Chains A and B, each alone.
Chain A
Amino acid sequence: DTEVTQTPKHLVMGMTNKKSLKCEQHMGHRAMYWYKQKAKKPPELMFVYSYEKLSINESVPSRFSPECPNSSLLNLHLHALQPEDSALYLCASSQGPTGGANTIYFGEGSWLTVV
Chain B
Amino acid sequence: ILNVEQSPQSLHVQEGDSTNFTCSFPSSNFYALHWYRWETAKSPEALFVMTLNGDEKKKGRISATLNTKEGYSYLYIKGSQPEDSATYLCAFPWGQNFVFGPGTRLSVLP
Contacts and interface: CB of A to CB of B under 8 A. Distances in A.
A2 interface: yes
B32 A101 contact: yes
A101 B42 contact: no
Interface in B16-50: 31-32, 34, 36, 41-44, 46, 49
Majority secondary structure, A binding face: loop
Contacts of B97: 45, 48, 56, 58, 98
A104 B96 contact: no
B59 to A, nearest CB: 13
A48 B43 contact: no
Contacts of A101: 31-32, 49, 51, 93
B95 A99 contact: yes
A39 to B, nearest CB: 12
- Give the most central of B32, B101, B102: most A CB within 10 Å: B32
Nearest to B41: A108
A87 B5 CA distance: 22
Interface string A29-48: 00100000000011111001
Interface residues of A, number: 27
A82 interface: no
Contacts of B94: 99
Interface of B: 31-32, 34, 36, 41-44, 46, 49, 51, 89, 91, 93-98, 100-103
28 contacts: A2-B43, A4-B43, A42-B89, A42-B100, A42-B102, A42-B103, A44-B100, A45-B97, A48-B96, A55-B96, A56-B95, A56-B97, A90-B43, A97-B96, A98-B97, A99-B95, A99-B96, A100-B32, A101-B93, A103-B46, A103-B49, A104-B34, A104-B46, A105-B43, A106-B36, A106-B43, A106-B44, A108-B42
